[in-house]
Structure 1
Amino acid sequence: MNPNHEHACGCEHTHEEESQYNKYEDALSKYQTNLKDDEIAEKTARLIEKHLEENNTKEVKKFLFNCIDLTTLKCTDSDTSVMKFTEKVNEFVDRYPDLKNVAAICVYPNMAEIVNDTLEADDVKIACVSGGFPSSQTFIEVKVAETAMAIHSGADEIDIVISVGKFLSGDYEGMCDEIEELKEVCGDKHLKVILETGALGSASNIKKASILSMYSGADFIKTSTGKESPAATPEAAYVMCQAIKEYFLETGRKVGFKPAGGINSVHDALVYYTIVKELLGEEWLTNELFRLGTSRMANLLLSDIVGSETKFF
């Protein structure tokens, strides 16, 4: 008897592979993953049109500011530039005593120690991209080492990218094993898993990648690296928030949401706030469960909050 079986994907699987295949297919079967892109676009547009304006308030903008992962991920980053970047976050406390600070500073792993040594502001986390960011194309041993070293250097949170190639070729086991292994390295530190939604190609794929990432231990799911185009989109956010809600109803576990990449205006930030509020509810409106990955948004939100153009960061 042939130990291999041919599946719908056209591949042959051994019994061992089949049990793994079934494990991930079983996980996905609990959710509606067959989505129509045009329907999602229509629902997203309707939701934004109906609810955006009611959220265009100073209080919401203050909240959004407190959800920012203030990010510098340039090839030109240096110890000096990252130190100055961090000192601005320290200065914010004295300059704007009535406002809550950003949620986190997000840097490359080799910069975590500089941020850790420089950061004095309370309640600001240190986040690091890791795991072969932004392509995720390196050995799992390197991903594990990089993540462990980032945490050792002071990172409170780790942002990784799924193995998009593995996902798209149907190797759910390979993709999920990596997330599980990196979550194990993180322990009680938050693991944010970036789907790179622009590369996934469809709402159905975004839904599947969201479910599999949460199933594998993601504490947050995040849209994009900002290094691929398109980056964050309202439609991707809609699908991801839907997945988070359904996953919560199925498992009782709350997973956070982080749009990132291409968030260029206060209007964009309000769009993502509106989607989270309407799909996930007030419980998710905390920076423990909602973040914005951006560098330029801080000054834009601050300008709106104080009522005049401000270039503080």
Structure 2
Amino acid sequence: MEDKEHLNQPSKYDMALGKYNTALKDEDIAAKTAHIIEKYAAENDTPEVKKFLFHCIDLTTLKCTDSETSVMKFTERVNAFDDEHPDLKNVAAICVYPNMAEIVHDTLEADDVKIACVSGGFPSSQTFTEVKVAETAMALHAGADEIDIVIPVGKFLSGDYEGMCDEIQELKDVCGEKHLKVILETGALGSAENIKKASILAMYSGADFIKTSTGKEKPAATPEAAFVMCQAIKEYFLETGRKVGFKPAGGINTVHDAVVYYTIVKELLGKEWLTNELFRLGTSRLANLLLSDILGEDTKFF
């Protein structure tokens, strides 16, 4: 009898989730998101905001065709940006596969640009935890300042919160003081309720950032997912006093898309989050689009 009672006790993960409203309706979130965009996005479509957004970019190359030569050239463009545009702040980070961290580390000269690596069996997260730990440790050893991992989506969807959270905690332990960005792969989660739960569990497990997507699954980032995640970050901060960053990634194809995410962060989290310590954009194509807009001419710098 005691065993049955014990089995019916809520887990620490259920108790953590119980502190937050996760019973969200997708149509309500869609309406609230649309309202914010309609009411506030236009006022944020300014040169100052675009310069800030450029400074928040994790400039990303994650192609099967990446080579040491191509990644070196990619990094050299970031170095050149400082010389050619001294009046503009550079991108926030260069994001590459772990085996390319060393070449970025050896090539990068631009001040205040971080080296980010995807790790942990990116993009599917389907490998042994031991492999994820080893890959993350090797990426850090090779020069990574930040690590982007994907939650084990299958574990989350099947209700194995303990398996999901233990893995994130273990990888955060490997990172130590280095930032761990945790990708929820929101397009695979299926509902606003699941996005809220995954956000809270990721933060509870030590995530320094929560990130929408890998860009390898459809749909990738959406304003609705961003709304839910920013709401979760705000509630988690009020509950714990810990500020967690937000990173939309995947499918950010236009300057307007970037302004929309800025608007959601500003309205839900406030100006405190409008720093590249707490807000990033994962993209490659957006850098040239933003730069063209800022300079007022078509530019293909990167």
TM-score above 0.5, yes or no: yes
Q: Does 1:201 align with 2:185?
A: no
Structure 2 counterpart of 1:283:
272
Structure 1 counterpart of 2:243:
254
**Structure 1 position 149, deviation (Å):** 0.2
**Partner AA of 1:178 in structure 2:** E
Identity, % of aligned pairs? 83
Secondary structure of the 2:69 match is helix
**Runs in 1 of length 4+ with deviation above 2 angstroms?**
1-5
Secondary structure of the 1:33 match is coil
**Can you list the C-alpha shifts for 1:52-75, whole angstroms capped at 9, x where unaligned?**
000000000000000000000000
**Structure 1 position 205, deviation (Å):** 0.2
**Partner AA of 2:50 in structure 1:** K
Structure 1 counterpart of 2:52:
63
CA distance in 1, matches of 2:76, 2:291: 17
Does the C-alpha gap of structure 1 residues 45 and 190 become closer, same or farther in structure 2, counting only changes over 3 Å?
Answer: same
Structure 1 residue ranges without an equivalent (≥5): 6-14
Q: Does 1:112 align with 2:80?
A: no
Structure 2 residue ranges without an equivalent (≥5): none
Secondary structure of the 1:201 match is coil
**Can you list the C-alpha shifts for 1:91-145, whole angstroms capped at 9, x where unaligned?**
0001101000000000000000000000000000000000000000000000000
Structure 2 counterpart of 1:3:
3
Structure 2 counterpart of 1:166:
155
Q: Does 1:24 align with 2:21?
A: no
CA distance in 2, matches of 1:76, 1:36: 41
Q: Does 1:176 align with 2:173?
A: no
Does the C-alpha gap of structure 1 residues 124 and 18 become closer, same or farther in structure 2, counting only changes over 3 Å?
Answer: farther
**Can you list the C-alpha shifts for 1:194-235, whole angstroms capped at 9, x where unaligned?**
000000000000000000000000000000000000000000
Size of the aligned set, in residue pairs, is 302
| Structure 2 counterparts to residues 113-192 of structure 1, below 5 A | 113-192=102-181
Secondary structure of the 2:3 match is coil
CA distance in 1, matches of 2:271, 2:28: 25
**Structure 1 position 22, deviation (Å):** 1.5
| TM-score normalised over the length of structure 1 | 0.95
Secondary structure of the 1:158 match is strand
**Partner AA of 2:231 in structure 1:** Q
**Can you list the C-alpha shifts for 1:257-278, whole angstroms capped at 9, x where unaligned?**
0000000000000000000000
Structure 2 counterpart of 1:10:
none
CA distance in 2, matches of 1:26, 1:132: 29
